[in-house]
Chains A and B, each alone.
Chain A
């Protein structure tokens, strides 16, 4: 409580200073309008053709929201090829690159999650991506990316407590022609894409785009002497737009994508000597994913309303294979296979007159997901010896030092199958009223979600105790079954209140919003539960009871593996200013109170699983600053985010972490970018562009006790682009100082592991737009 009071006073003081400064800056009269950057390259032309508008709001920098917007040119300048590449460009947004494409651990303003429900939602052309396993995909022909930070629950619902990223692909209505891209990078990586955009008539437009990427990989598995994170991915996108008349518009897009890759470049860390070991594991690890996303958008517009309907079907079919001990030993492996079918429907009605002082929006959203998952865990010889028999025989040996429990199998399987249907419905409304220089915004959303889990987990194991079962083949079989059904439902109210004050040089705003992450089921822990049940079954069969249980787990029932929604309140003030011509400054101060925080915990004991638990109460405050300056061919951008996120209460039963920093979320993010375009207009070159990019992040604590951390580090990149008519040739570099850093830490079977960050890489890219 004392800590909170101190934080509050500091924060309020900082808020007052910032508000006063921003007000002074904004109140200065000015008649200067920012000049447009020189539009000469093709991507610039694309930006100007159409204002990017989403289903629920038109992008406008002056709105009461903290946002980062990246145009097609901005994405190319910074070499953004996936959502992960936007990490650090947007203040307080961090998505580390580790594991494989299934790993989309996103942290915004101090909060995030390693598994299950994400803290940030993603939409692609207004279609919400309903599973975070699909978040990591290869960008190509992306026209605009907008990251809205802070809870966006009122308009976007579940899993948007940290924000929403709206991605807009290039539309055949915006640009027509053929686009080709080919890229080669060091470490044997290559990408290529081809697309054709056409508009045969005023009413019909069509595009088809495809891409392929090969990652040569960065890290070698010393045990197999092979690169472990090599991969291939490809996708195909088809988009059709049909305007029947001025009122009706139909749009259909379908994207199919496939990826097959290695990954999981985890190296052991010795806590005593503080030294890293080599990446070395013996069993296969990798990820395969097929996604098909179909979106159908209908828009009706008349003089009074705009009615939109977005229907989507999403298929996710993936398989993750893991050597789960990440050592050369034959311990245990996991193969998680899942198939998920999702249907979504959203209907939005808005008033058509955008000049009216009352802007309103009503929406209804519904979804149904059907997930079938199979997660067999195979215990191998070393795992049987070290994880099971070592514990069991430790107790036995104190009484019978010469006798052992023996498991003859070289391996045994713990099979876990799940069926998890989930559905949800939501109704929402938001109104904006303009009162002179003021704009007042209020909204409310009602979300209801229900899900159930049917689980079927089983395993067979043979054993004998050599003191009493002396025959060579006198083994007994323990058959353990754990079957049942769990269900849960929850109801959330997600209000939003905001006020904007518009001045000649910008606007000030204040918002209060509520967001939530959905609850769910911990499927990852079932193999642990069954393992414990198997060992207890063996002890029962032997007629003994150990003083210390053979296997222990914090949770041994399915009902205990449920976790509830995590909710948060976000209080924010900010400003969008243009103090001098061509200079845009965005600033915000935020305070977030998080309840029932979902934290990833390792159950007690020498266990193999991990699980989500509503174990913590936390708070976060911080600041976000962005500045952009453009003059003729010069573009300068600086983005800084500071977050101070701590547990208010968190006791995992072994230690009290109250007052400690939240792990995995960075305290600072910094991005500096400078680019200059030199127009030559000679026979060889039209122009040449130079861009330097400097991104930093840290400190990141890796554990709840704050004993391990990654200090602040910076990565330097560059890009040189030569423009020749329809052809652009680019040379780029990433982490050119080859800075070493860690992006992930975890413990498995009592051992510590780190994942190293991406090393230095150079590439050359050719773009042809005809």
Chain B
């Protein structure tokens, strides 16, 4: 019985030591992350109908993901460009350039072919994209095909 107790004691000690070692390794290899802004925003998407009116879709969700040190991918969920449009679609804008600002990112992009409905959406090429992301929200302005689009969202 005493032998068994020693065995379990040694096992526990080894387990604790191993845990400490892993924690130490993680601390050494990964630098402390910078304060990361929220990656999902919900807000309104407004599309200039090019006839003097505009269409606003509420509740559009937009997320982003950093691809590398200079570009990110933005995904708009449930985007709708006109009242008469009988469907909502998810649109991915990949290769948006970003630069770090005080508490977030400043965005820009031009001639980006978005990805929607299973493939590249050439006739709705994104031009003149500008925007910024911070802890409080996301602002985007771009032209999709010929339609000027703006998005303003906040974290939920």
Partner-B contacts on A (CB < 8 A)? 395-396, 398-399, 464-465, 467-470, 474, 476, 541-548
Contacts and interface: CB of A to CB of B under 8 A. Distances in A.
Contact of B86 (A399, A464, A469, A542): A399
Given A543-B90, A544-B90, A545-B78, A468 B85 contact: no
Nearest to B92: A543
Given A468-B120, A543-B89, A547-B87, 19 more contacts: A395-B87, A398-B85, A399-B86, A465-B117, A465-B119, A467-B117, A468-B115, A468-B116, A470-B119, A476-B118, A542-B89, A543-B116, A543-B117, A544-B88, A545-B78, A545-B88, A545-B89, A547-B88, A548-B86
Which of A398, A468, A470 has the most chain B CB atoms inside 10 A of its CB?
A: A468
A541 to B, nearest CB: 7
Contacts of A476: 118
Contacts of A474: 119
Contacts of B87: 395-396, 399, 544-547
Interface string B79-111: 000001111111100000000000000000000
A547 B86 contact: yes
17 contacts: A395-B86, A465-B117, A468-B115, A468-B118, A468-B120, A468-B121, A469-B119, A470-B119, A474-B119, A541-B118, A543-B116, A543-B117, A543-B118, A544-B88, A545-B87, A545-B89, A546-B86
Contacts of A467: 117, 119, 121
A156 B121 CA distance: 67
Contacts of B91: 543
Interface string B124-143: 00000000000000000000
Contacts of A465: 117-119
A547 B83 CA distance: 11
A468 B117 contact: yes
B119 A468 contact: yes
Interface residues on B, range: 10 to 19
Contacts of A542: 89, 117-118
B121 to A, nearest CB: 6
Contacts of B117: 465, 467-468, 542-544
Nearest to A400: B117
B50 to A, nearest CB: 16
Interface string B26-60: 00000000000000000000000000000000000
Nearest to A398: B86
Contacts of B119: 465, 467-470, 474
Contacts of B120: 468
B102 to A, nearest CB: 34
A439 B89 CA distance: 75
A467 B120 CA distance: 8
Contact of B89 (A464, A469, A544, A548): A544
Contacts of A470: 119
Nearest to A544: B89
A399 B117 CA distance: 12
A541 B85 CA distance: 19
Nearest to A463: B118
A541 B120 CA distance: 14
A467 B122 CA distance: 9
Contacts of A545: 78, 87-89
B73 to A, nearest CB: 14
Which among A395, A465, A469, A545 has the highest number of chain B CB atoms within 10 Å? Answer: A545
A469 B115 CA distance: 11
A61 B29 CA distance: 97
Contacts of A468: 115-121
Contacts of B90: 543-544
A602 to B, nearest CB: 25
A545 to B, nearest CB: 5
Nearest to B81: A399
Contacts of B84: 398
Nearest to B77: A543
A465 B86 CA distance: 17
A30 B5 CA distance: 105
Given A543-B90, A544-B90, A545-B78, A399 B118 contact: no
Nearest to B115: A468
A404 to B, nearest CB: 12
Contacts of B89: 542-545
Q: Which of B85, B117, B120 has the most CB of A within 10 A?
A: B117
Determine which residue in A396, A468, A474, A543 has the highest number of CB atoms from chain B within 10 A of its CB, and name it. A543
B65 to A, nearest CB: 16
Contacts of B88: 544-545, 547
Contacts of B118: 464-465, 468-469, 476, 541-543
A197 B84 CA distance: 80
B12 to A, nearest CB: 44
A540 to B, nearest CB: 9
Contacts of B86: 395, 398-399, 546-548
A465, A467, A469, A548: residue with the most chain B Cβ atoms closer than 10 Å: A467
A275 B13 CA distance: 90
Contacts of A548: 86
Contacts of A547: 86-88
B124 to A, nearest CB: 10
A489 B121 CA distance: 54
Q: Which of B78, B115, B119 has the most CB of A within 10 A?
A: B119
A547 B120 CA distance: 23
Nearest to A545: B88
A339 to B, nearest CB: 42
Nearest to B90: A543
Contacts of A399: 85-87
A546 B91 CA distance: 15
A469 B117 CA distance: 9
Nearest to A470: B119
A542 B87 CA distance: 11
A470 B86 CA distance: 23
Nearest to B78: A545
Contacts of A464: 118
User: 8 closest A-B pairs (Cβ-Cβ)?
Assistant: A468-B119, A543-B90, A544-B89, A547-B86, A545-B88, A395-B86, A468-B118, A542-B117
A399 B87 CA distance: 8
A542 B115 CA distance: 10
A402 to B, nearest CB: 11
A743 to B, nearest CB: 43
A765 B85 CA distance: 71
Contacts of A398: 84-86
A542 B90 CA distance: 8
A223 B91 CA distance: 49
